[in-house]
Amino acid sequence: MSRWPIVKLTQARQVFALMDVDEDDLPPAADDLHARYDSLRRGDAPADAVDYIAHALPRQEAVAWAARCLHDHARDCSLPIRDQLALDHAMRWIDEPSDTNRRATHTAAEAAGQRSPERLLGMAVFYSGGSIAPMNAAPVLAPPEACLRYAAGAVKASAYRSGTPDAAMAEALALAEQVAERGVQALAKP
């Protein structure tokens, strides 16, 4: 049985391909998914481990994980109202992942601060599935890695904003590992 049953990828190479690593820089196909993550996790660059696990998770789980991280960090600071609204919309979408809520989250994200983690989270929601074209236009699907890239960016930006980025990323990584093991149920508050 897999250590991360939620993760459908089996090789580190697949994760790095989603991270848009150049073909020449991809690890060999034999590189183990978990061994590479463990190596990044133990290294000096926790942001690399955040990127890796965000790209390993399925889109829904990655967005829910990022939202939980931002929600937890928001308790420790006072967000500008436009950022709080973007976070609120993302949390609503997580509870009810409809296209209407996805598009409303996108609108709120576009109004959020240009570099805010909440804006990045809102974009992750928007790119999580469904058409990114205007409502009455022919459907256009985003590449799956776009959602994952935004989710990772939201977690890292929130961690840096916390003032204790290494501790915040360590907490985020521990939570992501639980999500990879148990799915979004790992995010439920006791």
Look at residue 93 in the predicted model and tell me its pLDDT: 97
The structural domains of the chain, with segments of one domain joined by +, span 1-185
The Cα–Cα gap between 70 and 121 comes to 8
Question: Residue written as tokens 């204790």?
Answer: 164
* % of the chain at pLDDT higher than 90: 89
Quick one: pLDDT at residue 189?
72
Q: Kindly give the parts of the chain with pLDDT less than 70.
A: 1, 190
What is the chain's mean pLDDT, rounded?
95
**What pTM was computed for the model?**
0.95
